[in-house]
Amino acid sequence: MAASFELLVIGDDAPSLVAAAAAAASGATTALAPAGASTHVGPSVCDIPNFVWQRLNLQEFGLELEPVSARVTLLEGGKSTTTHRTVPDSVEALRECDEDNAMLWPSLCEDMQALGEAGFSIDADGAAPDALYDLNDLRKLANLGRLAGASDELIDDYVNGGPLNAHIHAHALAPFGLDGAEAGSAAALPEFFDDDAWRVRAKSGTRSIIGALRKACEHYGVSSTTAGVRQAQADGARHNAILFDDGEKVRSRRIMFASPEAAEAAGYALSGRNAPLNAARAVMRIKLRDRIDPPHSDNRALFQIIDGVDDLKAARRNALDGRICEKLPIGFEFTDKGDIIAHTAYIPKKLQEEGEWRPWTGQDRQVLSTIMLSRLSSRIDGLHEKIRKTDLKVLDSADVVDGKFSAARNVYLQPKRHNAVAAAVRLVDEALADE
């Protein structure tokens, strides 16, 4: 790689790749490094909006996308709730499971999208620190107050109980490991209803999303390395000195993590984030002997498993206490090859036993694997008999105390976002304009 860069992006997921390509396309010398552990999971990503597509000419790199077919929540007793990208399709689907709340969906979508203009985003702990507002605009100030609160309260303003309430909780909050009671968790809701938050997949038989974005990075001149960062520290008045695991050294004015997952995998965390208080994530890939019929016979949908809203609170409470919850909220989707990729964000970074915190063991992972497979088998008929192999990874930042980035300057970390790709490009523009 070259000796000096304006921006070093660390990560291998869609937001990281788009951020690197966008920076390079704007004329900034840009480098891309892996986070140390893969942060891209599953075949779907949040939508890539038109302004990003046009800026990078993504059609030139073989990228062909289609929206996921639906968001589906699989409740207990065989019940389910489904919403689609369009409002009319969602209303029609909701009439079948929650007639009382179905007609609220159009006004809920409209109000949430308007509320999103207040400009909040949630960080890795569920707080919402990033507010852009005009003190003279009382309506916007009132909206900020609503977003600074708990999502439970905001949801209850529109949907008081029922399957739709559980559905919104499962898809808007579960990916972030929230339970709805945290201050600032309401900020997750407007982005959930944002058009850019709807997830997409590569069309069957075409180049993968990650593969196409890597091609875009190459085209725009992003320098890449396969080595992780060993140490980053300030070097002079305006740069950082970066030492990679393979011994290579470069300088970079700015360092960016386009997602909290990339930051955690690389060993970077803000003050207090390395304590065993916040939930980690677990991802399981399940390979099957034969293809299996997915719920609703829809292998292009995103699924969430909860018995009810209280599942999120119980899972979050257990994670905070260093325990694995028996009724874990589980999200999953099917790949084009018929595999299942399941995930949960309610895993403790460290476990607590007899009042002492301890790291994960192989036995703990086996317990978690059993729980996740049990939850999946309760919703997917015939799954247990078709399993050929499973691969479970617990992704966390429990061991980020080595301080490899503690002496670096101009480190940009994007908080958790439903519309992470669009937000990553905006963060790039903000970073490059920040002198």
Q: How many domains does the chain have?
A: 3
Q: Are residues 374 and 319 in the same domain?
A: yes
Residues 207, 171 within the same domain: no
Confidence of residue 309 (pLDDT cuts 50, 70, 90): very high
Mark 154-179 as b/e (b = at least 16 C-beta within 10 Å): bbeebbeebbbbbbbbbbbbbbbbbb
* Residues 6+ away with beta carbon under 8 Å from 145: none
The answer to whether residue 81 sits within a structural domain is no
* pLDDT 10s digits, 118-136: 666 776 566 665 544 455 5
On whether residue 94 sits in a domain, the answer given is: no
Please give the helix or strand (H or E) that residue 325 lies within, else none. none
- What pLDDT score was predicted for residue 256? 96
pLDDT digits (tens, 9 = 90+) for 182-199: 988 999 999 999 999 999
Domain boundary (197, 228, 260) is at: 197
- Name the domain boundary from 155, 170, 197: 197
User: What is the average pLDDT across 295-308?
Assistant: 95
Say if 411 falls within a structural domain: yes
Residue 314 lies in a domain: yes
> Are residues 342 and 253 part of one domain?
no
- Report yes or no: 360 and 224 within 8 Å, Cβ to Cβ: no
Dihedral sign for Cα 297, 95, 308, 341, please.
positive
pLDDT, mean of residues 319-347: 95
d(CA 178, CA 319): 11
Is there a single domain that holds both residue 284 and residue 390? Answer: yes
pLDDT tens digit sequence for 346-382: 999 889 998 899 999 999 999 999 999 999 999 999 9
> Domain range for residue 288?
279-395
pLDDT at site 161: 84
* pLDDT surpasses 80 at 410: yes
Phi-psi region of 184 (alpha: psi -120 to 50; beta: other; left: phi over 0): left
Residue 208 maps to a domain: yes
Same domain? For 355 and 290 the reply is: yes
Q: Does 287 lie in the same domain as 257?
A: no
Q: Could you say which DSSP state residue 71 is in?
A: E
- Which CATH number covers residue 426? 3.50.50.60
The rounded percent of the chain whose pLDDT value lies above 90 is 73
Residue 265: its pLDDT value, please? 83
Instruction: Please check whether residues 241 and 312 belong to one and the same domain.
Output: no
pLDDT tens string 15-68: 999 999 999 999 999 999 998 777 777 899 999 999 999 999 999 999 999 999
For the segment 163-167, the average pLDDT, to the nearest whole number, is 94
Q: Which helix (H) or strand (E) holds 75?
A: none
Whether residues 160 and 218 share a domain: the answer is: no
Do 301 and 294 touch, CB atoms closer than 8 A?
yes
Residues 283 and 253 in one domain: no
- If asked whether residues 364 and 305 sit together in one domain, one would say yes
Rounded Cα–Cα distance for residues 417 and 414 (Å): 8
Q: Which among 173, 197, 221 is the end of a domain?
A: 197
Which residue from 34, 418, 32 is spatially nearest to 200, judged by alpha carbons?
418
Helices (H), 49-122: 50-56, 87-95, 99-102, 105-115
Q: Decide if 262 is inside a domain.
A: yes
Residue 238 resides in a domain: yes
What per-residue confidence (pLDDT) applies to 1? 65
pLDDT interval class at 401 (50, 70, 90): very low
Together in a domain, 285 and 356: yes
Q: What is the CA radius of gyration of the chain?
A: 21
Global pTM reads 0.91
Q: What is the pLDDT of residues 248-260, one digit of tens each?
A: 999 999 999 999 8
Q: Is residue 147 part of a domain?
A: yes
Identify whether residues 284 and 384 lie together within a single domain: yes
- What mean pLDDT do residues 397-418 have? 79
